[in-house]
Structure 1
Amino acid sequence: MRYDLDDLRLFTHVAAEGSITAGARVMHLSLPSASSRVRALEAQAGVPLLIRERRGARLTPAGATLARHAREVLAETTRLDSAVASYAVSRTAPIRLVAGGSAMHQLVPVALATFLREHPEYDVNVSERRTVRSVRLLAAGEADLGVILDDEPTSLRTEPLADDSLVVIGQAGGTLAGRTSIAYAEVAEHPLVGLDRNSPLTQWMDDRLGPHAPAPRYRTVVPTLHTLITLATAGAGLAIVPRRAVDAIAVLDICPLQDAWSTRAHLLCYAANAPESAHLLAGHLHAAANA
């Protein structure tokens, strides 16, 4: 049998309202038209669907079954319409976001999760880049928005985002227990775990430490902050990481560095012609930073 969707929609309203008159009103139909549609449904089904009474109508068992399935069919039709309609929406160019490894650990994923959920009309292309490279891309108009460190001069528009100072972490109750601060020179005397040489954080530290800094002994180097923090927490060695990356972890010792270079901050940096969508994303980055 073939059912007309408007007839099914009318019947679900009749079932919900308890009368053909009320169902017709919801559908903006005249009572004769609504009654005719219900009779046509009953003729098609071959069984009575309603028990008509002076003050309304009750569903027969067959009517209750039809109403239940009709609601499911109409809900599925709505989902179908929504899915197909999404392809008809005029798509804008993806927002181009560049950020360093520290921001990519927590800040960017949290912001993207809320932004993409609230703005299905926009897509985002994300690239991990060192600050110096991010600024060049933004200045050349090859990126729209960046999360950069505050030590790279630029004439582009920037605004404060979040603290990104570095700390030393280690297994709870271990080498750092009871310490309120520590110098990098002392940290380098202990076995360390670190990020690999291609990591923006490693390259940034190498630039600050210079050739005369104590040479640390790395027991292993890994590609991600998540792995690095896991190893340090388990006692594999000390690690230098952004404080924000471990704020929510209570099972390790955290010790600030005494070295001036360890104090740094994240900025939001806008391309000269950043689209409005990039400004919307910036709002979610601020919210994630303040969470």
Structure 2
Amino acid sequence: MRYDLDDLRLFTHVAAEGSITGGARVMHLSLPSASARVRALEAQAGVPLLIRERRGVRLTPAGATLARHAREVLAETTRLDSAVASYAVSRTEPIRLVAGGSAMHQLVPAALATFLRDHPEYDVNVSERRTIRSVRLLAAGEADLGVILDDEPTDLRTEPLADDSLVVIGQAGGVLSGRTSIAYAEVAEHPLVGLDRGSPLTQWMEDRLGPHAPVARYRTIVPTLHTLITLATAGAGLAIVPRRAVDASTAVEICPLQDAWSTRAHLLCYAADAPESAHLLAAQLHAAASVRV
């Protein structure tokens, strides 16, 4: 048997409303038209689907079965339409976002999660880059939007986003307990855990420490901020990380650095011809940055 989807939709409304009149109203049909459609369904099924009463209708067992399966068919049709429609949307070029490792730890994922959910018409390509590289890509038109640090001069449009100052973290109750600040020279006297040398944060620090900085002893080198914070929290060694990377619920000692280079901030940086979609993503990055960590 072949069923018309509109007939099935009408029948589910009749079942929900308890009357053909109510079903017709929901479907914006005249009562004679709706009645004719229901009779055609019954003729096709070969069994009564409704019991007509003075104040409405009741489903027969066959009608209840039809209504249940009709709802399932209509729901599956809706999912099918949605799946196919996603390919029919006029696709735009993906937004090209560049950001450093610090922003990639929490800020960018939080913003993307909401943006991609709320804007199914846009895709985003994300690359992790040092600020100096991000600015070059934006200036060349090879990226649309960047989360950069505030220490790289550029003629491109920028706007403040969030503090990204560095702090020292260590096991709760450990050597940092009770300290209000600490200099890097003293930090280097303790065993450390750090990020690998290819990470943007490590390269940024090496550029500012210079060749005469105290030589630190790293107990281990790891690839991600998440692993770094986990090890420092467990007491494997002290670690230097962006303050925003440490969740407020983490049981860890946090101590600001006294060194001037540790104070820094994130900026949003736009390419000269950034598309409107990049501005929508920028708004979501601002929203994510406003959430306290």
Band of TM-score, shorter chain: over 0.9
Q: SS at 1:63's partner residue?
A: helix
State the shift of 1:282 in Å: 0.3
**Structure-2 separation of matches of 1:236 and 1:23:** 68
Q: Which runs of 4+ in 1 moved over 4 A?
A: none
Q: SS at 1:108's partner residue?
A: helix
Q: Deviations over 1:174-233 (max 9, x none)?
A: 111111110000000000000001000000000000000001001111110001111111
| Unaligned 5+ runs, structure 2 | none
**Structure-2 separation of matches of 1:50 and 1:109:** 53
| Unaligned 5+ runs, structure 1 | none
**Partner residue in 2 for 1:132:** 132
**Structure-2 separation of matches of 1:99 and 1:153:** 16
**Partner residue in 1 for 2:264:** 264
Q: Deviations over 1:33-57 (max 9, x none)?
A: 2222111211222221111112211
State the shift of 1:238 in Å: 0.4
Q: Tell me the TM-score normalised to structure 2 length.
A: 0.97
State the shift of 1:29 in Å: 2.3
State the shift of 1:123 in Å: 0.3
**Structure-2 separation of matches of 1:85 and 1:132:** 40
**Structure-2 separation of matches of 1:204 and 1:22:** 69
Task: Report the more deviating stretch, 25-34 or 62-71.
Answer: 25-34
Q: SS at 2:227's partner residue?
A: helix
The alignment-based identity, stated in percent, is 91
Task: Report the more deviating stretch, 83-92 or 31-40.
Answer: 31-40
State the shift of 1:80 in Å: 0.6
Q: Deviations over 1:227-257 (max 9, x none)?
A: 1111111111000000000142431101000
Q: Deviations over 1:50-91 (max 9, x none)?
A: 111122111112111111111111111111111101101110
**Structure-2 separation of matches of 1:65 and 1:204:** 67
Task: Report the more deviating stretch, 11-20 or 141-150.
Answer: 11-20
**Structure-2 separation of matches of 1:46 and 1:240:** 76
Q: SS at 1:175's partner residue?
A: coil
**Partner residue in 2 for 1:197:** 197
**1:210 to 2:210 alignment:** yes
**Structure-2 separation of matches of 1:47 and 1:63:** 9
State the shift of 1:118 in Å: 0.3
Matched pairs, number: 291
Q: SS at 1:52's partner residue?
A: strand
CA RMSD after TM alignment:
1.0
**Structure-1 separation of matches of 2:67 and 2:206:** 70
Task: Report the more deviating stretch, 209-218 or 50-59.
Answer: 50-59
Q: Tell me the TM-score normalised to structure 1 length.
A: 0.98
